[in-house]
Amino acid sequence: MLKNFLPDEHVPSVFDIDPDQLKDKGIKGVITDLDNTLVAWDEPDATEDIKGWFKKMSDHGIQVTIASNNNEARVKLFSEPLDTTFIHSARKPLSKAFKKAQKQMKLKKDEVAVIGDQLLTDVLGGNSAGFHTILVVPIVETDGFITKFNRKIERRILNWMRRKGKITWQRRDQ
């Protein structure tokens, strides 16, 4: 059961994800979370660094789709200036949004990676849908109400994984 929460990879941030390494794994598309993965949950716009990350992925032929549980206005405001596709109100960890993004990108399951900062939404959903999953450290230590609850559960799972030697990476709040 807990193996569904285990990411295939864990890195400090999206900036530690090398497009050449993704391509070496056969990855041609990325489904990424928005809040606390790309920018702080209360930051409305992409930073210059994130704009550069999107360009770097594009330059390497990797498609990027944003899948967020947040509302349409929030996700659209962030995504449109980046000229990237998005799915709002994704209801992660349910797999429907992940499969929709895969279909939009016209890629096979083994050609898609899911990037996110939460075990209970991004990693569980990505693993359940059969994609390669990459967990990043949340950008900020503050969260919205529902996410605060998820983080408490997540900390227990991460601590279990550390004790079992399944994960060595540390969150910023540990």
Give 129 or 42, the one with higher predicted confidence. Answer: 129
Q: Which residues pair with 66 in a beta bridge?
A: 32, 86
CA distance 11 to 115: 10
C-beta atoms surrounding 122 within 10 Å: 28
CA distance 87 to 114: 13
Residue 113 pLDDT exceeds 50: yes
CA distance 164 to 152: 19
Share of the chain above pLDDT 70, in %: 90
Output the six-digit token pair for 139: 């950008």
Amino acid at 147: T
CA distance 73 to 116: 20
The contacts of residue 86 (CB under 8 Å, 6+ apart) are 65, 66, 67, 68, 75, 76, 78, 79
pTM: 0.86
Mean pLDDT for all residues in the chain = 89
Residue-wise pLDDT for 13-32, tens only, equals 999 999 999 999 999 999 99
Where do the domains of the chain lie, and which CATH numbers do they carry?
A: 2-163 (3.40.50.1000)
Most confident by average pLDDT, 34-48, 91-105, 157-171: 91-105
Q: Residue 153: which pLDDT band, with cuts at 50, 70 and 90?
A: confident
